[in-house]
Structure 1
Amino acid sequence: MGTFVLAKQTDGQFYLKLNAANGETLCVSEGYTTKQNAINGIESCQRNAQDAEIDDQTTD
């Protein structure tokens, strides 16, 4: 199962990472000014990614 990691960086902003079950980082968010905004970002990902489609914009 994947895991969302919430961290505060040295720039004072909060970031979230989505890690795969093997610990590999799948994506990293933009910086959030508050912890609550970062938590809201996690909750938004959880809601919206359940049925997300793939938009393949490659040209091969």
Structure 2
Amino acid sequence: MGKFEIKTDKSGQFRFNLKAGNGQVILSSEAYTTKAACENGIESVKTNSQDDNRFERKTAKNGSPYFNLKASNGQVIGASEMYSSTSAMENGIASVKSNAPGADVEDNS
């Protein structure tokens, strides 16, 4: 089972990672100024991860595939790591879809 981990960064802002059951980070958030906003971001991931149209598939300058998860307003709410292939990226998207909805939240902030 996946989980969201909330942490604070060096500047005191809040971020979350969605981790798969094996502990691997599959989605990382932007920085939020408040914990409440970060928690709202997590709820947005849970909701929007169920709509394939919310996943923006991209390619980095070095050719590595990655994806962003966007909210209904078009704002990026999470970004993936860089993948070695398109199929690996699609597996990452599938992992977010399956892990996010029921993931617990662990507050390490």
TM range (shorter): 0.7 to 0.9
Residue-pair matches, total: 59
Question: Cα 1:51–1:33, aligned 2, differ >3 Å: closer, same or farther?
Answer: same
Give the TM-score, by structure 1 length: 0.82
Secondary structure class of the residue paired with 1:50: coil
Question: Cα 1:20–1:8, aligned 2, differ >3 Å: closer, same or farther?
Answer: same
Bigger proportion of residues as helix: 2
Secondary structure class of the residue paired with 1:42: helix
**Which deviations, in whole Å up to 9, do the C-alpha atoms of 1:4-55 show, x marking residues without a partner?**
1111112110001010100001121110000000000000000111232465
* Consecutive aligned runs of 4 or more in structure 1 exceeding 3 Å deviation: 53-58
Greater relative contact order: 1 or 2 (C-alpha under 8 angstroms, separation 6 or more)? Answer: 2
Q: Which runs of 5+ in 2 are unaligned?
A: 60-85, 87-109
Q: Which runs of 5+ in 1 are unaligned?
A: none
Bigger proportion of residues as strand: 2
Give the TM-score, by structure 2 length: 0.48
1:9 aligns with 2:34: no
How much has 1:56 moved relative to structure 2?
5.0
Identity %: 42
**CA distance, structure 2, for counterparts of residue 35 and residue 52 of structure 1:** 27
